[in-house]
Structure 1
């Protein structure tokens, strides 16, 4: 293929990716993985794509390629794509305009007044381009890592990493537990949650990221048992790293959103704590992100795009007909009650893997049952996995989650 042909191909691919990021596609079946990848990477890295595409165009022009009809066509296609990417970038910039009202609605308009002044100085309404222009640069100064610490006896799948602030904090560091996603069958603790964990660790929180057993080798409830085992380990050991074992918040995306919400709603469930039944596994706050909340899809949200086959074959290894009670138990929506902790649920409107309606149904049930605060932020244009690396949307989301965590900790320290 000639240089002009390559340029036109890249222009068409860019236009498709931009279209995928803007349009909310549903029921596209086998096209879902391709659509998701294109929409995800284009939507989160829109300005970076413009930069390299403009640079490519400049190179083609330098070598006299602009006289080629294929290049001229490609340039028009690129130009249309760039307009779409500018729209996507502006949409991401508006994320703070969605998060702050959601926090105000769920916690009270003056919620920051509940946070001590010395902690309020760690909150931010702005983001730094030095972060989102380097999307895969995660490490931060002032954070010490402790890697591959065993919290159980399942080898690699029962290891955790600790992100410890170097400066001490009076009363000990509150704890944030990160649970990775990956459809319960893939994923590693090193791959997700780093923008949030480093952000919080720099601001006096100790963060713990865990592996857990994966399907099909593991069968539910193995996954949630491991999460609770990690909570128990934190409760017993985190003081050795300066953490306060009495305050644990939990977060995670996708399967991690499912497991973090399920853990927060089922404290001290004895059959899910074999061998550590008497250790308190209560968490004090939860931030599930684009999670799966209903294995049974009782509201018929995923009609035509069901997860039942994956769950039956790999995760539950039984059908809902065979063991409905097990599927009920695995669904966070089945456990909403007035004992739920404060919760911040975050979901993207354009998520092609876990649809936004599932989060809406879960939040509705949660608000009807709990006495605690529930915050729900629905982010326009956000795809699945949007906060895995640094982006404009990720940075604003991290700021919003920090507000919620600081508020939750402040309320825990000084309950009304």
Structure 2
């Protein structure tokens, strides 16, 4: 019996050591946001570090619970290894508390941003903080969905000719990817002409799904926007820009059909995360370009606004901001182009599909949201905004989020929902004015509670 108890305690001690070491490393990455030369490692670290960066108190209490269990079972008393890692966890605990403190910095950043976009109203914004019960209600229940909406799934946007070509080239599974999901609030009916949010998912152009939607999409559904979530083909023999062309086909479908669901086909804002952000920006910057709409050249593929988060904005990366060589992966695995990635032809191709090099002359309003620890370098977002302001007369707003990692906005965390408040207000401020009232502007809904204080 004593041997069994010793083995159980050893198992707990080893598990605790592994948990503690992992927590220590991931907390460090969450704080520092280091980029590695390996893209896969960056993806894994981004996904795991986000758990610590966005939910630090949860990780803190999980560790505390584990330590309490080891104390109750007597493991600390007989295991020097467990005692050693308990000291390591003191450092980790300090790190997670720092991460929580840093997540609160987003409150002030967003309040300043909201004041800037509404400065003509002389409105002062005050968002709920740690003294607000609403803050803790949201924090303890981060999984939110609006209740009253209808989901119309997997609506194809191809024509019969496009269907046959895709089937013959890439098979039926590829054809099935050419579809949209429409989220229609239940109090919106056909002909209501509500603003439309066209959402393009991320996933490095070769993975991901329209089902992967974050707090912004659910929030806009709650605010009576019609949301169209778009799938594009992921792996095709033709390679990129197939994904961009598919997104334009989806926009064609919106132009022709969204009014049936209560959306306004002439008030469409495109949004996306990561690679979906690149596709969204390219969609906005190449309206009616016949190179990307063969067979439907006469369809209007312009949009009224563009909002992207954690977006890939420069494929060339001439300044080598990225630690990993994104050029090579994009040329070889996404675009499927021959030759060296650094050849003149391929660099020209990368420039042609890098939003940073396409801003001149656009008249589409933009909002760029980027975390300052993003593996899609924040320096690129800053360069894009600077270039946009030099070469375009359209408006652009920029929201840089302290401590934000790649796709942090997909998490319903304090940082995530502060950002959601900012992006939702930008959307309503710019594209929902005709039907807006003071009651809609000063709204209380399930996701967050916030209010305006007039000077």
TM-score (norm 2): 0.82
Choose the corresponding residue for 2:350, options 327, 333, 336: 327
Aligned partner of residue 322 in structure 1, secondary structure: helix
* Cα contact 2:238–2:336 (8 A) shared by 1: no
1:255 aligns with 275
Aligned partner of residue 2 in structure 1, secondary structure: helix
2:42 aligns with 32
* Cα contact 2:179–2:250 (8 A) shared by 1: no
Q: Give CA deviations for 1:112-167 in whole Å, capped at 9, x if unaligned.
A: 87xxxxxx9xx9934644444344x3432112211111112352211111111111
* Cα contact 1:316–1:327 (8 A) shared by 2: no
1:42 aligns with 52
* Cα contact 1:349–1:378 (8 A) shared by 2: yes
**Structure 1: 4+ residue segments shifted above 4 A:** 410-414
5+ residue gaps in structure 2? Answer: 1-9, 129-133, 167-174, 437-455
Q: For 1:48-127, what aligned pairs fall within 5 Å after superposition?
A: 48-68=58-78, 69-105=80-116, 107=117, 109-110=119-120, 125-126=127-128
Offset at 1:411?
A: 5.9
Structure 1 residue 14 and structure 2 residue 23: aligned?
Answer: yes
Larger Cα-atom Rg: 2
Offset at 1:5?
A: 2.4
2:426 aligns with 404
Aligned partner of residue 18 in structure 1, secondary structure: helix
Structure 1 residue 347 and structure 2 residue 363: aligned?
Answer: no
Structure 1 residue 337 and structure 2 residue 347: aligned?
Answer: no
Deviates further, 247-256 or 60-69? 60-69
Aligned partner of residue 410 in structure 2, secondary structure: coil
1:389 aligns with 411
2:444 aligns with none
Structure 1 residue 225 and structure 2 residue 236: aligned?
Answer: no
Change in CA separation of 1:270 and 1:100 when aligned onto 2, cut-off 3 Å: farther
Structure 1 residue 309 and structure 2 residue 345: aligned?
Answer: no
2:262 aligns with 242
Q: Give CA deviations for 1:312-354 in whole Å, capped at 9, x if unaligned.
A: 11122224523444322211122202433111101111112x1
Aligned partner of residue 409 in structure 2, secondary structure: coil
Change in CA separation of 1:217 and 1:87 when aligned onto 2, cut-off 3 Å: farther
Offset at 1:185?
A: 0.8
Report the Cα distance in structure 2 between the residues aligned to 1:2 and 1:308, rounded to whole angstroms.
45
* Cα contact 2:331–2:346 (8 A) shared by 1: no
Deviates further, 391-400 or 291-300? 291-300
* Cα contact 2:245–2:292 (8 A) shared by 1: yes
Offset at 1:231?
A: 1.1
Choose the corresponding residue for 1:376, options 398, 408, 411: 398
Report the Cα distance in structure 1 between the residues aligned to 2:333 and 2:236, rounded to whole angstroms.
5
Report the Cα distance in structure 2 between the residues aligned to 1:125 and 1:57, rounded to whole angstroms.
35
1:117 aligns with none
Change in CA separation of 1:128 and 1:228 when aligned onto 2, cut-off 3 Å: farther
- The alignment of Structure 1 onto Structure 2 pairs a total of residues equal to 401
Report the Cα distance in structure 2 between the residues aligned to 1:25 and 1:278, rounded to whole angstroms.
46
TM-score (norm 1): 0.89
Report the Cα distance in structure 1 between the residues aligned to 2:25 and 2:347, rounded to whole angstroms.
41
Change in CA separation of 1:159 and 1:244 when aligned onto 2, cut-off 3 Å: same
Q: Give CA deviations for 1:195-228 in whole Å, capped at 9, x if unaligned.
A: 2111111111111111101235441221111111
1:358 aligns with 380
Offset at 1:393?
A: 1.3
Change in CA separation of 1:101 and 1:370 when aligned onto 2, cut-off 3 Å: farther
Choose the corresponding residue for 2:293, options 273, 279, 282: 273
Offset at 1:108?
A: 5.1
Structure 1 residue 283 and structure 2 residue 289: aligned?
Answer: no
Offset at 1:111?
A: 5.6
Change in CA separation of 1:14 and 1:300 when aligned onto 2, cut-off 3 Å: closer
Report the Cα distance in structure 2 between the residues aligned to 1:129 and 1:273, rounded to whole angstroms.
48
Change in CA separation of 1:43 and 1:140 when aligned onto 2, cut-off 3 Å: same
* Cα contact 2:76–2:83 (8 A) shared by 1: yes
Offset at 1:301?
A: 2.8
2:11 aligns with 2
2:202 aligns with 181
Change in CA separation of 1:16 and 1:402 when aligned onto 2, cut-off 3 Å: same
